[in-house]
Amino acid sequence: MAMGMMNEGYFVGRKELSAWIQSHFQPNFAKIEDLANGVVYCQIVDSIYPGAVPMSKVKMQARTEVDSIHNFKILQTAFSKKKIDRYIDVDKLSKRSFQTNMEFLQFMKCYWDMHAPNGDGAHVLADAQPANEATAAAPPRKQPPKDPPAAEEKAKPAPAGARRVTSMNKAPPPAASQQLAAEVNELKNSVDNLERERDFYYSKLREVEILCQNNEGEANPFLQQVLDILYKTDDDEFIAPEEPVSVA
């Protein structure tokens, strides 16, 4: 499964993903960075394809980068075996990169929803099954008898001129094709620019988050207020200010 950067799966929030991991894999899960040991990723694939990941070989208490890389190698083998179309950036994942682990987890959640026996995709297939069974059980309808004269009459080929006109009507004019190609390129450029802009502001927000977390011990209410703003979601009924706040 290939997921573009604008796929809706990449907009699933940290809280929702953490709750999903806690309810299905690790009840004590706390930080996205803790995924760097590869254990949860192996558990996710094993829940989708039982036996595809040799869990007995996974180092469940991995603490060092060497142990984490060992787990990711097992994960890579499972991806290759099941033909999961996703590059695993072991270097960034094992070095506790928040953004890399966040995006990889978003992919895994989307893949799990589509393929796991108890994922969202399974419910869609289960709901569709009765209708398919009813269709299969219905007896085939009998075709009415054909009128003998009509059945014996052979279809006459269309005149050559008519065939040429039909072919010309189906083929779009060159100018229209060029315009469509230009519009497609323009949309691709817009998407690329939006992705770069998103990554730029995401990295800035991440730097602010790390700065606040490193100074949480100072009991500064301002730092907690900044973290509260960073973690706000639509569920918190956050309302954006009407005018941007200028920073001197």
Structural domain includes residue 165: no
Query: How does DSSP classify residue 172?
Result: P
Average pLDDT rounded to a whole number, residues 193-206: 74
pLDDT above 60 (res 133): no
- For the chain, give the percent of residues with pLDDT over 90: 40
14 lies in the same domain as 114: yes
Question: 57 CB contacts (<8 Å, ≥6 apart)?
Answer: 74
Query: How does DSSP classify residue 149?
Result: H
Tell me the two tokens of residue 202: 């995401």
Last residue of a domain, one of 86, 105, 120: 120
Average pLDDT rounded to a whole number, residues 86-113: 94
Other Cβ atoms less than 10 A from the Cβ of 104: the count is 20
27 lies in the same domain as 108: yes
CA distance 77 to 51: 12
pLDDT above 50 (res 171): yes
Tell me the two tokens of residue 231: 């973690």
Task: Give how many domains the chain has, as a whole number.
Answer: 2
186 lies in the same domain as 112: no
CA distance 226 to 208: 8
Structural domain includes residue 162: no
Query: What does pLDDT average to over the chain?
Result: 75
14 lies in the same domain as 115: yes
Which CATH number is 39's domain given? 1.10.418.10
Cα 195 from chain centroid (whole Å): 15
CA distances from 134 to 83, 129, 131, 139, 226 (A): 33, 9, 5, 10, 57
Structural domain includes residue 108: yes
Which CATH number is 220's domain given? 1.20.5.1430
Last residue of a domain, one of 87, 104, 120: 120
pLDDT above 50 (res 231): yes
CA distance 100 to 128: 36
Question: 33 CB contacts (<8 Å, ≥6 apart)?
Answer: 96, 97, 98, 101
Structural domain includes residue 53: yes
pLDDT of residue 57: 95
Last residue of a domain, one of 120, 150, 169: 120
Structural domain includes residue 240: no
Structural domain includes residue 79: yes
Decide: pTM greater than 0.85.
no
Q: How confident is the model at residue 45 (pLDDT cuts 50, 70, 90)?
A: very high
CA distance 88 to 36: 12
For CA atoms 68, 69, 71, 72, give the dihedral sign: positive
pLDDT in tens, 96-108: 999 999 999 999 9
Structural domain includes residue 76: yes
pLDDT in tens, 9-24: 557 888 999 999 999 9
For CA atoms 74, 24, 96, 6, give the dihedral sign: positive
Other Cβ atoms less than 10 A from the Cβ of 6: the count is 12
Structural domain of residue 230, as residue ranges?
178-235
